[in-house]
Structure 1
Amino acid sequence: MQKYILAHKKELTIINGSLLLLALLDHFFLTQGKIVPFALILSGIAGVLPIAIQAFQSLKVKIVSIDVLVTIAVFGAFFVQSYEEAAVVTFLFLAGHFLEQATLSKTRKAIKSLTEMAPEVSLKKNQAGQFEEVPIDEVHEGDILLVKTGGKVPVDGKVLTGSGYVNEASITGESKTANKQIGSAVYAGTILENGTFQLQAKRVGEDSAFGKIIELVEEAQDSKSSAERFIDKFSKYYTPAVLLLAIIVGLITKDIELAVTVLVLGCPGALVIGIPVSNVAGIGNGAKHGILLKGSETIQDFSKVDTMVFDKTGTLTVGAPRVNKVISNPEINENKAISTLVSIEAESDHPLAQAVVKTYPDTLKYPVNQTQVIKGGGITATVKGNKVILGNLQLIKTNGIKLRPEEMSQSKELEAEGNSLIFMAINNQLALILGIKDQLRPNVKTELASLKKLGVKNLVLLSGDNQGTVDQIAQQLSLTEAKGNMLPEDKAMYIKKLQEEGQNVTFVGDGVNDSPSLATANTGIAMGNGTDVAIETSDIVLLNSDFSRLAPTLRLVKSTSHNMLQNIVIAVGVVLFLLSSLLFSNWINMGIGMFVHEASIIVVILNALRLLNHRLRR
């Protein structure tokens, strides 16, 4: 019977409201009140049934819920024959519940849309070499898949053949398309707007980037912040306290109706709903813009950050070294020397060699002969009949090539600026000195200034790089502090030291070596292009590794935290206002009190909904 009644809660609400409306019509227009009492009694009974069942279920688990207060209030109204109050209170309570659910569903739209965007089918290559449509569950790592124009990329993978422009808004939060060529990485849930390509599946199902987004956001919704836990605990004591107050008022005044009214006015509905709806709205907005907030606890912690610690490579820098400075011999043609350099480096997979090739992608290349790799030194080769020595300073000196004093001075200056050096000699004459350096992210200084404006007092750099490079970056970016030559465990220990000093620390990183620091900090933020370990360990993920999202993320969590506080003030203020009005004036009654309560619930929900329209300004 209980299940049946709760399953038809909506219908009972309609009956409750219809009978209440009939009573009003009868009183003013029909028989002048002959059927009013019967309509009100039936309306009250229809309304109180689901509320009473919910009250009984909460009492079974030793919780005195709001439903208990309302049930006692309605039975009290029946006892004093205030049938109109019973009908109005039950209708407003039930109608308020449905309004809450309808309004709350809006806050979950951004999250629900994620699951709807998940691919369901894929074109998979079979043993006969043909592509057939199969459910996404039948796609496994290593399978070859076909994606056509307008189709969704079914899994994470790498493009094998073809090309196209992919809308990656579901992953990065950016609406601009990305050009995908052979070898490019593609992600599940993204849409191929133009082109056709085949891909090899790398990560499928829940292991894909899109699957992790859905999993992380769902986990975030289920988590509770310290503020929510406080409200839960508060409600356990608050509700019995209101019940006790009503009993005391009834005993002192001998006025049962007044005691019942105290029960109704003391309902903390807006207080209970205010914080969760703010959290869900904030998390939903973040997910829509490529920012994963892993739980409401994260919102509370990050909103109070005063110290932000950064890794260097891939965080403050782009993680892709390039030629930063070239010193050339005026006696040798620089363009020909660079062509010679790129021709040799193109045959090497060394990171510094790749940095050179990427810096000069369109340079003319010459045939390379007699290549010999000198372990720990560099390369010797013959290019267009010229003997070329390419590598570090030690290799140059070993081959008897002398540097002029000004060249030595310039190379030391480059090294002091944090550059890795490459020397190239042609026919035993120094031709080039190259300084190779990872580049700072665009506008990183402006973004750090924005963080300071938002209340971050200390900006700290911790890196495994040499202290000279770290100091130079710290000076460029006006950082508070910078530490070089740090191992992963050193970074984590340093963060603990900051926390022991009373600082609320956020760490921003992207590599496996950053995982201990991400886990140790009050809040860990991972760049989305980082390693899976870093992303799993962190509390916040910036999906497109866009550093310019950092300040807007902090602004969003601060707005969410402020929104929670506003909702608490509204909820507590309404209860205090109603109870004081009841005790010190005579204008308020049970029906008016319940109406104000339900109105306050809608107000806190609408206030939270503003977070869905919060713009992540850059």
Structure 2
Amino acid sequence: MQKFILGKKNNIAFISGALIIIAFTSHYAFHNINIAIWSLVIASILGVTPIAIQAYQALKVKVVSIDVLVTIAVTGAFLIQNFEESAIVTFLFLFGAYLEQRTLNKTRSAIKELIEMAPESALKQTENGEFEEVEVDEVDVGDILLVKTGAKVPVDGTVLTGEGHINEASITGESVPVGKKKGSQVYAGTILENGTIQIVADRVGEDTTFGKIIELVEEAQDSKSETERFIDRFSKYYTPAVLVIAFIVWLLSRDFELAITILVLGCPGALVIGVPISNVAGIGNGARHGVLLKGSEVIHDFSKVDTIVFDKTGTLTIGNPKVADKEIYAENVDEVFAYLASVENESDHPLARAIVEYIGDTKLYTVEKTDVVKGGGIVAHIDGHRVAVGNVALLEQENIPLNEKARADIARFEANGNSLVLTAVDGELKVLMGIRDQIRPGVKEDLQKLKKLGVKNLILLSGDNQGTVDLVANELGLTEAHGHMLPEDKSAYIEELQAKGQIVAFVGDGVNDSPSLALAQIGIAMGGGTDVAIETSDIVLMNSDFSRLPHALGLTKATALNMRQNIVIAVGVVIILLASLIFSEWMNMSIGMLAHELSILVVILNGMRLLGYKLKY
């Protein structure tokens, strides 16, 4: 029966809430006192039942928890027929537990999501040279595997034959697929977007990079011990003190009503309500401003963050490579763009897609002959013209001259971190394009706001090359920047920061970010990222709106302060009431209850202020 009731705790909370609404409506709208009283009585009994069970279970292991105090206080309030107090306190206590349970369930599902993304099968070469599909667990180091277009790479390995482009976003977080050829390294869980390759298995199973990602997430989540809330720690001393005082008063005076009065006055109505109301108001404000905060512990931890670590692609940058710079050396630019679009329209390469998107609607010519130059680009014949599209090496191979201006433009584009695409027609350079993943608009200003909010260290960790990472860091004024970082490197770096006593938040959007999101004190996911990153995180910036990050930090600081204010108000009022009852003659049940209800109103109004919170700068 206990298990059944605890399993229905959330349902009981919502039923109690509905009964409280009925009670107040009956009382104030229809002046029907009987329905109001019975609704509150039923709500109190329903609400206190799971709390009492939890209190009993805590006492069995010799723990005086907040459940014990709430149970005794509600029982005391019920006995003196203060049904309104007993009903409201139980409802708010259960509703707060519901919010925490929901967050915990989402976090735990992250490991399941990761496991489902792992490759399940592989095409393994048999003794007769044929390839047959086997379970990925049957692959051993040294086996030769075939990977076709669209398939996941089943193990970490080395390319033996074939070429193609692999999307390594699950490992490096970078959006631009990487070209692979003989001798290149490939990783389990990445996707071959085009081409066919044969690989030899170097690492299999849990030893693969993807397997280590899953292991890192599991370890990071296990290492995150559940921190007791301040109220639970406080109640360790507060609860016995109130119980002892009430019992002593009863022993000395034999006045049961006085003892119950002490329990009622000591009932943490404002204390129980104060923290959840701040928490709910803060979470509500965040939701209205595109920030999902997963619980009060997240608010407490994030408010103290002094170091924020960022992934690059999809976080500080848009996550979609686009044409960023261009130089035109031709007069008939529309015709040249038409030739360029015709060539790139037949390619699945991400740079080609960026160019086609940039040019937009244009006339497309029939590509009569195509010659793919390894590591260079494409030479094609279109409408009687020889068109070369590729890098500098291709143009040099084609003996196409580059004047001083063109070479200066190339050097400038490279210095800006661009990938270069040059287009030549009939032996003359016509167009130079620089393609890169662009920094999100307004990010620099948002980072300055974070500094004003007390963040001392802004650090960039990326799987991209160091040159590009340095350019982004310099442009944005970051404290540190490190490139060529695999997921385990990022996690190790975060552990180093934590070992130095820094409170670290990590901001990312990919599966590769999941270990770091779980390991950092606060994981922050961009809402446009993967489901795993979002579920592993503590805070989600909806719609991948980076500008919400300063608001989130400012809001958590305001909410944490508001919680402390409510705790001081609640505890202070209880202390004053109990002291007045013992040391004065004028304190009685009516005056004490009035002060008690006023304290609840004060903490509610104080918490509600958070709904209107806005970042001041």
Q: Same fold (TM over 0.5)?
A: yes
Q: Is the 8 A contact 1:343 1:366 kept in 2?
A: yes
Alpha-carbon distance change, 109 to 72 in structure 1, aligned in 2, over 3 angstroms: closer
After superposition, where does 1:250-289 map in structure 2 within 5 Å? 261-289=261-289
Following the alignment from structure 1 to structure 2, what is the Cα–Cα distance between the partners of residues 383 and 570? 79
Counterpart pick for 2:85 among 74, 96, 99: 96
Cα offsets for 1:385-413 (capped at 9, x unmatched): 11011112222222222323443343123
Q: What's the counterpart of residue 564 of structure 1?
A: 563
Query: Which residue of 65, 76, 85 maps to 2:69?
Result: 65
3-state DSSP of counterpart to 2:609 = helix
State how many pairs are aligned: 460
The CA distance in 2 between the partners of 1:336 and 1:10, in whole Å, is 73
* TM-score, scaled to structure 1: 0.65
Q: Is the 8 A contact 2:281 2:610 kept in 1?
A: yes
Distance 1:541 1:516 in 2: 16
Q: 1:467 to 1:52 in 2, by over 3 A?
A: closer
AA in 2 matched with 1:517: S
- Give 1:240 shift: 2.5
1:292 aligns with 292
**Is there any run of 5+ residues in structure 2 with no aligned partner, and where?**
6-11, 32-37, 101-223
Asked if 1:497 is matched to 2:500, the reply is: no
**Residues 550 and 380 from structure 1, CA distance in 2 versus in 1: closer, same or farther, beyond 3 angstroms?**
same
Q: Residues of 1 paired with 2:386 and 2:469: CA distance? A: 37
Where 2:543 maps in the other structure, the secondary structure is: coil
CA distance in structure 2 between the partners assigned to 1:450 and 1:107 by the alignment: 31
Aligned partners of 2:438 and 2:379: how far apart in 1? 28
| Cα deviation 1:85-120 (Å, max 9, x = unaligned) | x8xxx24x3222345578899999999xxxxxxxxx
Percent identity for Structure 1 against Structure 2? 54
Q: Which runs of 5+ in 1 are unaligned?
A: 22-42, 75-85, 112-222
Whole-Å separation in 1 of the counterparts to 2:304 and 2:276:
19
Distance 2:499 2:582 in 1: 49
Cα offset, 1:574, TM superposition? 0.3
Q: Is the 8 A contact 1:318 1:439 kept in 2?
A: yes
Aligned residue for 1:378?
Answer: 377
> Residue 74 of structure 2 contacts residue 86 of structure 2 at CA under 8 Å; is this kept in 1?
no
Query: Larger Rg: 1 or 2?
Result: 1
CA contact (8 A) 1:463 1:470 kept: yes
1:525: how far off?
A: 1.2
SS in 1 for 2:84: helix
In structure 1, the partner of 2:189 is none
Contact 2:75 2:86 in 1 (8 A): no
Q: CA deviation at 1:351?
A: 0.7
AA at the equivalent of 1:292: L
Task: Map 1:171-186 to 2 at 5 A.
Answer: none
Within a 5 Å distance, the mapping from 1:178-257 to structure 2 comes to: 226=227, 228=229, 230-249=230-249
Coordinate RMSD, CA, aligned: 4.2
Cα deviation digits, residues 360-401 of structure 1 (max 9, x gap): 214444443212333332111122311011112222222222
Distance 1:382 1:56 in 2: 82
* Distance in structure 1 (CA, Å) of the matches to 2:98 and 2:55: 33
Paired with 1:70 and 1:293, the residues of 2 have a C-alpha distance of 30
Check conservation: 1:283, 1:292, Cα contact below 8 A. yes
Q: Contact 2:400/2:428 (CA < 8 Å) preserved in 1?
A: yes
Greater Cα shift, 594-603 or 258-267: 258-267
Contact 1:424 1:432 in 2 (8 A): yes
Q: Whole-Å Cα distance in 2 between the matches of residues 324 and 404 of structure 1? A: 22
Q: Distance in 2 between matches of 1:359 and 1:260?
A: 76
* Mapped partners of 2:48, 2:340: distance in 1: 81
Please state how far the C-alpha of 1:464 moved relative to its aligned partner. 1.8
* Number of the residue aligned with 1:308: 308
Is residue 327 of structure 1 aligned with residue 327 of structure 2?
yes
For 2:407, give the aligned amino acid: M
Q: Which amino acid aligns with 1:429?
A: E
Equivalent AA in structure 2 for residue 97 of structure 1: S
Task: Note the alpha carbon deviations across 1:214-255, whole angstroms, 9 max, x for none.
Answer: xxxxxxxxx998463x32343354222222223445667888
Matched ranges for 1:355-394 at <5 A: 355-394=354-393
Give the distance between the partners of 1:225 and 1:98, measured in 2 at CA: 29
Is the Cα contact below 8 Å between 2:92 and 2:273 reproduced in 1? no
CA distance in 1, matches of 2:46, 2:95: 25
- After superposition, the Cα gap between the structure-2 partners of 1:100 and 1:571, relative to the gap in structure 1 and judged at 3 Å, is same
Distance in 2 (CA, whole Å) between partners of 1:416 and 1:394 is 18
Matches within 5 A, 1:432-447: 432-447=431-446
Secondary structure (helix, strand or coil) at the match of 1:347 reads: coil
What is the CA–CA distance in structure 2 between the aligned matches of 1:487 and 1:443, rounded to whole Å? 27
User: Which residue matches 1:508?
Assistant: 507
- What is the CA–CA distance in structure 1 between the aligned matches of 2:422 and 2:603, rounded to whole Å? 66
Q: Is the partner of 2:371 in helix, strand or coil? A: strand
- Alpha-carbon deviation of 1:594? 2.5
Does structure 2 retain, via aligned residues, the 8 Å contact 1:107–1:609?
Answer: no
| Stretch of structure 1 that moved more, 576-585 or 65-74 | 65-74
Measured against aligned partners, the alpha-carbon deviations of 1:155-196 in whole angstroms (never above 9, x if no partner) come to: xxxxxxxxxxxxxxxxxxxxxxxxxxxxxxxxxxxxxxxxxx
Residues 366 and 384 of structure 1 are in contact (CA less than 8 Å); yes or no, is this contact kept in structure 2? yes
Under a length normalisation based on structure 2, what TM-score does the superposition of the two structures give?
A: 0.65
Q: Deviation of residue 601 (structure 1)?
A: 2.5
Kindly indicate whether residue 348 of structure 2 is the aligned counterpart of residue 349 of structure 1. Answer: yes
Shift of residue 347, structure 1, vs aligned partner: 2.2
| Structure 1: distance between partners of 2:305 and 2:520 | 10
The aligned counterpart of 1:577 is: 576
| Structure-1 separation of matches of 2:468 and 2:397 | 27
Q: Secondary structure of 2:532's match? A: helix
Aligned position for 1:540: 539
1:330-360 Cα offsets, whole Å, 9 max, x none, are 6x54443333222322222211111111222
Aligned to 2:470, what secondary structure does the other structure show? helix
1:578-597 equivalent positions in 2, closer than 5 A: 578-597=577-596
Distance in structure 1 (CA, Å) of the matches to 2:92 and 2:242: 28
Distance in 2 separating the partners of 1:329 and 1:351: 24
Shift of 1:280: 2.9
- Quick one: distance in 1 between partners of 2:322 and 2:550? 27
Structure 2 contact 372–378 (Cα < 8 Å) conserved: yes
CA 1:67–1:597 in structure 2 vs 1: closer, same or farther (change >3 Å)?
farther
Which residue number in structure 1 is paired with residue 553 of structure 2? 554
The C-alpha deviation readout for 1:235-288, integer Å capped at 9, x for no partner, is 354222222223445667888776554443322222123223322333344334
Q: Distance in 2 between matches of 1:575 and 1:609?
A: 22
Q: Secondary structure at the match of 2:432?
A: strand
State how far apart, in whole Å, the 1-side matches of 2:233 and 2:440 are. Answer: 46
Tell me, yes or no, if the aligned pair for 1:321 and 1:438 is still in contact at 8 Å: yes
Is contact 1:339-1:363 (8 Å) kept?
yes
Aligned residue in 2 for 1:165: none
2:461 corresponds to 1:462: yes
Counterparts in 2 of 1:108 and 1:356: CA distance versus 1, 3 Å:
farther
Aligned residue identity for 2:346: E
Distance 1:295 1:510, change over 3 A: same
In structure 1, how many angstroms separate the alpha carbons of the residues matched to 2:259 and 2:475?
Answer: 68
1:395 maps to what in 2?
394
Q: Distance in 1 between matches of 2:328 and 2:45?
A: 85
Using a 3 Å threshold, how does the CA distance of structure 1 residues 247 and 51 change in structure 2: closer, same or farther? farther
Counterpart amino acid of residue 316 in structure 2 = L
Task: Assess if the C-alpha contact under 8 Å between 2:77 and 2:86 holds in 1.
Answer: no
Q: In 2, distance between residues paired with 1:600 and 1:102?
A: 18
Tell me, yes or no, if structure 1 residue 471 matches structure 2 residue 460: no
Q: Using a 3 Å threshold, how does the CA distance of structure 1 residues 363 and 242 change in structure 2: closer, same or farther?
A: same
Distance 1:464 1:562 in 2: 38
